[in-house]
Amino acid sequence: MNFSEKDTAEIEKKGISLKEVEEQIKIFKRGNVKVNITEAATVGKGITRLDEAEKRNLIKYYDSEKKKHSLLKFVPASGAATRMFKALHNFSDEFDPENQGLRDYLDENGDKDLLRFFNQMEDLPFYKHAVDKTKKNHPYYEDKSHDQQHKLLVKTILESDGLYLSNLPKGLVPFHKYEDHVATAFEEHLIEAAKYVAVNDVAKLHFTVAEEDKQKFQAEWKEIQDRVEKKSGVKFEITYSYQDPKTDTIAVDDNFEPFRTKEGDLFFRPGGHGALIENLNRLDEEIVFVKNIDNVVTGENIPNVVEYKKMLGGKLLKIQNQIFEYLKVLDEGSVSDEKLKEISKFLNEELCIKTGSDKTVTAEYLKEKLNRPLRVCGMVKNEGEPGGGPFLVKDSQGEISLQIIEGAQIDDKNPEQAKTAREATHFNPVDIVCGLRNYKGGGFDLHQYVDEEMSFIADKTKDGKALKALERPGLWNGGMAKWNSIFVEVPVETFNPVKTVSDLLKESHQPG
């Protein structure tokens, strides 16, 4: 692959080496690698279902142990709200109230989310603000027809002389309307985190944001700080980071040649949320809870969510403490065969790691398998929501482990693999607690536990031309493929994502 001096300078400016770019182009030529799923993880086979007594014991354990550890909540929050308002943008572009009635448009369009929007829009947290702004921008609003008013209102929600909500980061869109204030997703994450990551009345949160949005988040925090700290009774330490440009990936055309812009420059794209393993790796805390920015609940439902967060945290701390004990025993040397069998059984039953049949289980092997980052992931019964699923996966060495797998990673042209995929009962809501320290107190280098083969190639466009984009192994997919994993069932009530503006009208996002 020949690169000009200008290309080389551009690559180096991003902090990427020529060798890395060449390796990325090789991945494009190789194509997506399909995983070998041996069976779906189900309750009793990879997913643990805890009864009420077990849940209570883990919550109690978490509450008694958490002060011994540094805790943090990590929230990927760089996403823009654009996609959330896609249906409204389409409506704004397409609907002509002079020539078509709103009801006819909705019937013709067939978008159930859009229908819900117009049927219930008075319940949106920003509805009153939008109406007031529309009337201010359009003095003759009251004289307009019902359909014309709806079009003006939608344009006010979207456009720069109105609320401009689709231009905001998703975390700063108003999500919930209370009697005395409107709360963004950012605020709800703070209120929730105060209940389970606060130690000595201080809660630490880290948000990954787009660099241009950091000041917006800081301004929002300045606006709400007094209210949030009074309500929660804790102080907050909030930090931010950006996706490092060196995690961007080269784009290629259909001939696997580097894609170039109209100006002839190389075109790089952000490497997807898998690039955030770099941000996670820089954290100093021992225990980190991971949750997406749009998955929040209203105030009255937070206690229920917090219980399950503590349950997952308690499970992690209990398993981690056992792992650390075993690693210290293995460090001492001269481990009895009986002890090796006990540890091997733990590896199999608690961590679902099954060795190849010809593998000799030695102290060194057990140590290598146990001394890894640990994650405990909540899994929700699949009720049609999107999300990766939990599976038992066999690697090239014949070893089987628990993994979170996206549909695109499964070979659906293979009848057996497709059948196994259909047997999945749960999905991944991104409800994860991570143990980032080893048994000696040092931090893991998380880059060592990424399965680079789980990168994903997607078809995109730029300036009207087709291109192939490379996304790094997903943060909780290939990015954590070589971690030790435990999957625990959590109720669907803990999962309330907002993918479209109409999701804000669901009962779970309407304060009682």
Summarised one tens digit per residue, pLDDT across range 227-236 is 999 999 999 9
pLDDT tens-digit series, residues 346-355? 999 999 988 7
For the cut 60, the answer to whether the pLDDT of residue 36 exceeds it is yes
pLDDT of residue 503: 96
For the cut 70, the answer to whether the pLDDT of residue 340 exceeds it is yes
Residue 358 pLDDT level (bands cut at 50, 70, 90): low
pLDDT tens-digit series, residues 130-141? 999 999 999 999
C-alpha–C-alpha distance, residues 55 and 49, integer Å? 9
Which range is least confidently modeled, 28-37, 178-187, 274-283? 28-37
* Mean pLDDT of the chain, nearest integer: 93
Distances (CA, A) of 236 to 116, 187, 433: 37, 12, 20
Domain parsing of the chain, residue ranges: 5-76+170-506
pLDDT of residue 321: 97
Between helix 86-94 and helix 112-120 the angle, nearest 10°, is 80
pLDDT tens-digit series, residues 249-298? 999 999 999 999 988 899 999 888 899 999 999 999 999 999 999 999 99
CA of residue 314 relative to chain centroid, distance: 21
Section 333-344 average pLDDT: 90
pLDDT of residue 397: 83
Residue 384 pLDDT level (bands cut at 50, 70, 90): low
Phi, psi of 375 (to 5 degrees): -135, 140
* Percent of the chain topping pLDDT 70: 98
Question: Whose CA is closest to 128, among 71, 172, 177?
Answer: 177
The whole-model pTM stands at 0.94
If you write DSSP's letter for every residue of 246-285 in order, what string do you get? GG-EE-B-TTSPBPB-TTS-B-EE---GGGGHHHHHT---
Residue 271 corresponds to which tokens in the numbers above? 């490497």
For the cut 90, the answer to whether the pLDDT of residue 198 exceeds it is yes
pLDDT of residue 456: 87
Residue 153 pLDDT level (bands cut at 50, 70, 90): very high
* Percent of the chain topping pLDDT 90: 80
- Domain topology for 5-76+170-506: Spore Coat Polysaccharide Biosynthesis Protein SpsA; Chain A (3.90.550)
For Cα atoms 297, 300, 305, give the angle at the middle one, nearest 5 degrees: 50
**Letter string b/e over residues 59-94, b meaning 16 or more CB atoms within 10 A of that residue's CB:** bebbeebbeeebbbbbbbbbbbbeebbbbbeebbee
Length of the chain: 512
pLDDT of residue 387: 55
Reading phi first (left if > 0) and then psi (alpha if -120 to 50, else beta), residue 334 is in left
C-alpha–C-alpha distance, residues 417 and 426, integer Å? 17
C-alpha–C-alpha distance, residues 493 and 512, integer Å? 15
For the cut 60, the answer to whether the pLDDT of residue 44 exceeds it is yes
Phi, psi of 445 (to 5 degrees): -85, 100
pLDDT of residue 359: 60
Residue 313 corresponds to which tokens in the numbers above? 């945290």
